Structure 1
Amino acid sequence: MDAILQQFFNLDIMAQAAPLVFRGLGMTLLVCCAVIPLGLVGGLLVALGSRSHSRLLRGLLAGLIDLLRALPPLVLLIAISAGLPFAGIRLSPFACVTLALFLNTSAYYGEVYRAGLESVPHGQWEAARCTGMTAWQTLVHVVIPQAVRNVLPDLVSNTVEVVKLTSLASVVALPEMLYSADMARSVTFNSSPIVLAALIYLALLWPVVRLMSRLEHRLGT
């Protein structure tokens, strides 16, 4: 038991590693602040495009969404970071991670938005148009707010997944929290920094998970 505590819950090593881990937390939050808004906007555009009257556009978006959802995010990240230099495009690790997660999350957010838009009764469109609203005003002021409300738990759930996916950034040596914790582990030969990072993830995401449960319960009643 003492060996387990020393290897995984060594408070002295956690204290020594904390500055490095919290610097990594700052990078993790920076990636989230870039990816989540981009993903939400990109997903909405994808969902709106999938309802276009153009069969070609719908087909292209459907194929792209299927590809991005089927492709593991890690594979996508490696393909971007290792493949783009062959095309003469060199991105920083931060840009590679942001682009990879943006493409991945846009596909998932897009499907969530699409389900939300389809859940709004067509009568809402007709009622809004009867009041003199244009199609764009109806979409922005009537349909999208209802659609977002209907799928809010799913949007929150996907956002939690985005935060967890930032740990993939360690593959391209971006010093996010998990990468920093692993660096501290390699120096101290102790797993306590990894446990510290896990506890920080838990402290960040547990309230969001509880909020998601409350939203699901409230919207389900």
Structure 2
Amino acid sequence: MERFADYYLNAEILLRYGPEIVAGLWVTIGVAVATVAIGLGLGLAMPVALIARVPVLRWVIACWIEVFRTLPQLAVIIFVYFGLPYAGITMSPFWATAGALGAVLSAFAAEIFRSAIQALPPGQWDAAAALGLRFRATFFLVILPQAIRLAVPLLTNRTIAIIKGTALGTAVSLPEILGRAQSAMAIAANPSPLTLAAVLYLILFLPLVVASRWLEASRVVPR
């Protein structure tokens, strides 16, 4: 047990490298917040844009969804960071990671929103028409608010799964929790920094997992 503690919970190493690794927590939180803002914003905009019924726009959105639902998150991050500069677009590790993960999240969010809209009873449209509401008013005032409520539990689970990909930012030198822990582990020749990183990930993501369970069990979804 003493050898285990010395190897994985070395107090001297944790005190030496702990503050630097904890500082990476704020980078992880920043990337996660940016990812959610980009992903959910684009994800909601796409099914809303589809009401324009423009064939070219529908084709572009369909391609976006299928591409980013299919590609691994790491491949997208690497392409954004290393590939886009050849097209004259250069991003920092922060925005390359957030943009890539946001694009992936937007593809899944768009499908979830679309499914939620289609899951609503046709009677909602009929009732709005009976009240004299036009198509756009019906969509934005009646259909979309209900669809968002219906999509919340699925969106929460998918969002948590994708923002955990912030750890993949180490591939483009993002100084988040895992990247700093790996650097500290290499210097100290001891895995204790990874133990601290695991604890920080639990602190960050466990409340989100609990919240998602609560949302699934609550009555926010109309029956």
Same fold (TM over 0.5): yes
Deviation per residue, 1:102-146 (Å, 9 max, x gap): 211110111111111111122212322333434333223221221
CA positional deviation for 1:50? 4.4
CA positional deviation for 1:157? 0.7
CA positional deviation for 1:59? 2.8
Deviation per residue, 1:154-198 (Å, 9 max, x gap): 111122123311111111111111111112112211111111111
Distance between the aligned counterparts of 1:34 and 1:78, measured in 2? 18
Partner of 1:44: 44
Partner of 1:75: 75
Distance between the aligned counterparts of 2:178 and 2:134, measured in 1? 49
Partner of 1:141: 141
CA positional deviation for 1:93? 1.5
Contact 1:117 1:143 in 2 (8 A): yes
Partner of 1:66: 66
Number of aligned residue pairs: 221
Deviation per residue, 1:3-57 (Å, 9 max, x gap): 2222212233223222111211111111112110111110011223345523433
Which consecutive unaligned segments of at least 5 residues does structure 1 have?
none
Amino acid at match of 1:49: A
Distance between the aligned counterparts of 1:12 and 1:138, measured in 2? 63
Partner of 2:157: 157
1:78-93 paired onto structure 2 within 5 Å = 78-93=78-93
Partner of 2:197: 197
Contact 1:50 1:62 in 2 (8 A): no
Instruction: Determine helix, strand or coil for the equivalent of 1:174.
Output: coil
Partner of 1:99: 99
Distance between the aligned counterparts of 2:8 and 2:133, measured in 1? 61
Identity level (%): 34
Partner of 2:10: 10
Deviation per residue, 1:59-91 (Å, 9 max, x gap): 332222111111111111111211122223222
Amino acid at match of 1:74: L
Instruction: Determine helix, strand or coil for the equivalent of 1:151.
Output: helix
1:17-56 paired onto structure 2 within 5 Å = 17-50=17-50, 52-56=52-56
Q: CA RMSD in A?
A: 2.0
Distance between the aligned counterparts of 2:201 and 2:38, measured in 1? 22
State the TM-score, normalizing by the size of structure 2: 0.90
Distance between the aligned counterparts of 1:65 and 1:171, measured in 2? 24
Partner of 1:206: 206
Partner of 1:124: 124
Which consecutive unaligned segments of at least 5 residues does structure 2 have?
none
Instruction: Determine helix, strand or coil for the equivalent of 2:133.
Output: coil
Contact 2:44 2:113 in 1 (8 A): yes
Distance between the aligned counterparts of 1:136 and 1:16, measured in 2? 59
Q: Relative to structure 1, is the Cα distance of residues 88 and 207 closer, same or farther in structure 2, using a 3 angstrom cutoff?
A: closer
